[in-house]
Structure formats: structure tokens, C-alpha cells
Amino acid sequence: MKELDKLTSTELSAWVQQAKTQAERGQIASRIPQLALANPNWFAVHICCKSGKTISFGDTGCLFPLMSVIKTFSLLYLLEHLGAETVFGWVGVEPSHAPFNSLEQLVSDRGRPRNPMINSGAITLADKLPGKNASERTLLFCEWLNQLAGCQLYLDEAMLTSVRLTRSKANEAIANYLAEIGHLENLETALDTYEQICCLSARVEDLALLGKLLAFENSCISAQNRRIVNAVMSTCGLYEASAEFAVRIGLPMKSGIGGGLVAIVPGKGAIACYSPALDTVGNPVAGLVFIEALSQNLGLSIFG
């Protein structure tokens, strides 16, 4: 098995080119006008290795909203602040076989969100973030991550305006149902918080720095919470395609419709990609092709 930090620029370049040719199979998320402005050919990767070495390639100056990638870190934040028993009193850890914004599944599960990586789970947890209103919650959460990871997340106001103007009917329906059965303390605050944290934006390097929190032992995060988050990412991080990619890639991963993708190689490194063209499930096409090439050629799968 080859170590991540022994990766050559020739190998990296070949796998990036291979990934970029596959991006044509994807589509930019168009429901949010501001997201639709992205160039489908953009591709960036940043890898943080255990040795301290970093490897960057591609359009690394691009800024993008984390969107659903942030769900990983709101779960981590609440586990650290409130503990696993409390958090998993609100949401489950079961994989979902329905799309990430499915109301039907939530209703059939009697209002208990399957996991924190789908919208019903993330909206439920957004309702529980510390802070008296959505803006304060987002600010406290953003500051916590920046301080801990040494990254530079910021709230993209233009993206947030665009999200608010085209508020997802599916998310409204989910939040209404959760509120009806008493699972949300404040429907509007929960939705507003959810939309704001999804608009926390960054460069690919910042996403890799966030990934480092989950890749390596550190004094800031409990080892147990790190393991929990990595496990939930492995089984739920790519929505209903999670099981397929657990077999093909074998790494804890989380995607977002903004084109972000983070993969954790426990004890070895964190890999972040940005590629805005998505497959039909909502996962970035080129990012997954690239990480699959990396995982298979370097033998990175956590399953040995």
C-alpha cells in the first residue's frame, strides 16, 4: 500500500484528468440560482497528510457553499456539546433508501429522521444548535469550526439570499411535519438555521482542514465522537448511494449539492474535492471518480 504523501504529481494529474472527463455525466444543481452559476468543468482537490504534507491540484481558488457537507460537522458539534445519548434521542443512524429530501420516508418512520445526513435529520439538529436565533447559532458554529480546524469558513450572503428566494418546498414540508409532531422547538428558526449553515462557504483547502478533525486523533475532539461521525458518514454520507461507494471506495465520505466532497482516511489523511456537476442522487461525479481512483490505486479502503 502506497502512502498518501508519496503521491506523485504525474499520478495525481492522470486521475484528475480521468475524473474531469466523467464530469460530463453530471448536471449542475439548478434549483438555487446562485449555485447554477458554477462552471461544470471546475475541479479542485486538496489532501492533508499525516506527515503534515499537503497536496493541491486544480481550481483551488474556487469558493463554494458546503451545503450538505456541513451536516457532518453539525453532528460533530452537537456530539461534542451535548453527547451521543442526547443527539441520538432526536435522530437515528440508519441508512436511507429514499432521496435526501424525502417526506414519505419521514412519515413512514413516524417522524424520526433516519440519520443526520438527510435533510429531515439535519433540520432536526439545526433546531438544537446552541444560540438564541439562527444568525447567532450559525456564527457560534462557524467560529467553533474555524478555531478548531484552522480553516476560514464564512457565511456567503449572496448564496443565502438565493436559497431564501427559492426555499425548498420539500424542506418546508419536512419541517412542517417535524413541528406538527413536536420534534422542533421553533420551525422558522430551525429552517433558517439549516439554510444558513448550508451557506457556510470555503475553498477546497478549508474543507480538507475540516476533514483533518475526523482523520487524526487530537485533543479538541473526543475519539469516540470522531468514530461515531466517521461511521455515520460511511453508511449515510452519500445518501442512497452510500452502500455502493462503501464497497467501491471504502472511506467515510460526505457530499453536498454545492459540489463539495470530503473523504476521511482514518489515521492517514483527509481528501477534499470540489466538482459542481452532480449525479442523479446529488453526489459530485468527478469528485467520486477521483477518490475512487485514489482509493483503489493506493489501497485506502478502511475495510483492508
| Mean pLDDT of the 114-119 span | 98
So what's the pLDDT on residue 238?
A: 98
Q: Is the pLDDT of residue 215 over 90?
A: yes
| Mean pLDDT of the 109-130 span | 97
> Which of 197-221 are b and which e, b meaning 16 or more Cβ less than 10 Å from the residue's Cβ?
bbbbbbbbbbbbbbbbbbbbeeeeb
* Percent of the chain surpassing pLDDT 70: 100
Q: Of 10-24, 112-126, 274-288, give the lowest mean pLDDT range.
A: 10-24
| Mean pLDDT of the 173-177 span | 98
Cβ-based neighbours of 81, under 8 Å, separated by 6 or more: 130
C-alpha grid cell, residue 107: 412519515
So what's the pLDDT on residue 89?
A: 98
**How far is 209 from 23, CA to CA, in rounded Å?**
25
233-289, pLDDT tens digit by residue?
999 999 999 999 999 999 999 999 999 999 999 999 999 999 999 999 999 999 999
**How far is 47 from 293, CA to CA, in rounded Å?**
14
C-alpha grid cell, residue 95: 441508512
The confidence band for 8, taking pLDDT boundaries of 50, 70 and 90, is confident
218-243, pLDDT tens digit by residue?
999 999 999 999 999 999 999 999 99
Q: Is the pLDDT of residue 2 over 80?
A: no
So what's the pLDDT on residue 1?
A: 60
Q: Mean pLDDT in the chain?
A: 96
Using alpha carbons only, give the angle 125, 130, 132 rounded to the nearest 5 degrees. 110
The dihedral through the CA atoms of 10, 12, 15, 17 has a sign that is: negative
So what's the pLDDT on residue 301?
A: 97
C-alpha grid cell, residue 257: 449539492
Is 121:106 a contact under the CB 8 Å cutoff? no
**How far is 178 from 164, CA to CA, in rounded Å?**
20
19-34, pLDDT tens digit by residue?
999 999 999 999 999 9
| Mean pLDDT of the 54-70 span | 97
**How far is 120 from 34, CA to CA, in rounded Å?**
23
135-169, pLDDT tens digit by residue?
999 999 999 999 999 999 999 999 999 999 999 99
Q: What is the DSSP string of the chain?
A: ---GGG--HHHHHHHHHHHHHHGGG-EE--SSTTGGGS-TT--EEEEEETTS-EEEEESTT--EE-GGGHHHHHHHHHHHHH-HHHHHHH------SS-TT-HHHHHHTTT--S-TTSHHHHHHHHTTSSSSSHHHHHHHHHHHHHHHH----EE-HHHHHHHHHT--HHHHHHHHHHHHTT--S-HHHHHHHHHHHHTEEE-HHHHHHHHHHHHS--SSS-HHHHHHHHHHHHHHTTGGGHHHHHHHT-S-EEE-TTSEEEEEETTTEEEEEE--EE-TTS-BHHHHHHHHHHHHHHT--TT-
